[in-house]
Chains A and B, each alone.
Chain A
Amino acid sequence: MSVLQACRQAFPKRAAGRVLVSARGLSTDSNAPAKATEEQSDIAPIPQRDVVTADVVSGAPAELRHRAVRIFQPTRSTTQSGSGKSHRWRIDWDILPGAGRWENPLMGWASSADYMQGTRLSFRSKEDAIHFAEKQGWDYYVAQPEIKRIPPKNYSENFLYKPNKLRIVRTK
């Protein structure tokens, strides 16, 4: 076996990008009876929590159970220096694979048949968003926010005396 093959086996494709959490065990799948599955020793069971299966009574289309949602924190707007609106957590839906979008033949506008493409939900915390997704029986994955590193200001460094070193005199 080559090294490449060994690496491929060690790191499956899914694990590299994102971890999808299935809330199927928490939701009520009304189409199939609950069947007991034998436990395997190397798989940790999902701890039972008291989650209301709100997807049954929410009135949302049942097709939403087959779509994964993304839980993420939006980045700061590039054109603004303030970090407003980037502290809340959002849920939004991935685009439908394959179809659901087309170009309007008359005006060339982008059209979509995906009723969730313009929908986004806002939450105060990540836990709130996760709890909501679990209640609705949606599969979700959490995009971890990048930790912002603000480098220390070093303007005064320009005027420090350093022996045996030329001071940089910056001009415009």
Chain B
Amino acid sequence: MTDTSAAPKPSSPLRDVWAQFRSHKGAMFGLITLSVLIIAVLIGPYLWVPEKLSVAQAIKLKNQGPSLRFPLGTDQLGRDMLARMLLAGRISLAVGLVAMGIAIVFGTLIGVLAGYFRRLDGPLMRLTDMFLALPLVPLLLVMVMLFRDRIAGIIGPEMGAFTLIVFAIGITSWMATARIVRGEVLTLKEREYVLAARSIGARPNRIILRHILPNVISPVMVAATLGVAEAIITESVLSFLGLGFPPDFPTWGRLLYDGLQYMQVYPERVVWPGVAISLTVLSVNYIGDGLRDALDPRIRGR
């Protein structure tokens, strides 16, 4: 994209970042793979509408191998695997994004408060330490096990499972973000421009929103990308242990768990969801890697 005719475009920070990001092969691979996956799960269910089968037909068509009619075969109840994979992908990715969103908002809030207000620093950091010492996977399992039925009774089994799992994952994975943000804020608030803002009488909330938050965005973005990967894995771990989503509202982890019983005869039923999870996480991790390089001005331009 180097056009020789026009004068060189003035460089903007965003374009610099993009140029650096593009030079990272892994990150580009990740971006393309993830985009393909997201587009597939977003518009796939509209393009690939599974045939409506009666129960008798479906039972006859159970456990089919791949064919033109069923590109990924059918499962033990005669359901089309491709349609289920697309639907499951939607939920898996939604869980990853929303849980990450909760974790980032919460982590940034705690980090900014701890970094900016010295009085809150001690208590909030002790809280972070405590959360870091909690055995998270066992606690997540306990939370899901104990609260699932109660929440399902209030807002229905599907939304209940979604809300509970997303909230549980979000509330147990904000600690890294909080620590990073706190460290950044501690150095930023000693800068001259913050002092200048304070000296003309800006209030703390304005200083934080206008002057500090925009400057902690880059580490937060990296943490957010890696957070998506972690949330997707955590959700599939819960589903894998049978404590995730109900079977008629599947995620990739749930599909893998369902396929486990048939692993010896129909290994592809485990492989497809597994490959989907691994590819998503791999591309998200590569994007995070590329972002880290691209957002670091010391590396950029080398």
Is the pairing of A and B real?
no
Interface residues of chain B, those whose CB is within 8 Å of chain A, are none
Interface residues of chain A, those whose CB is within 8 Å of chain B, are none
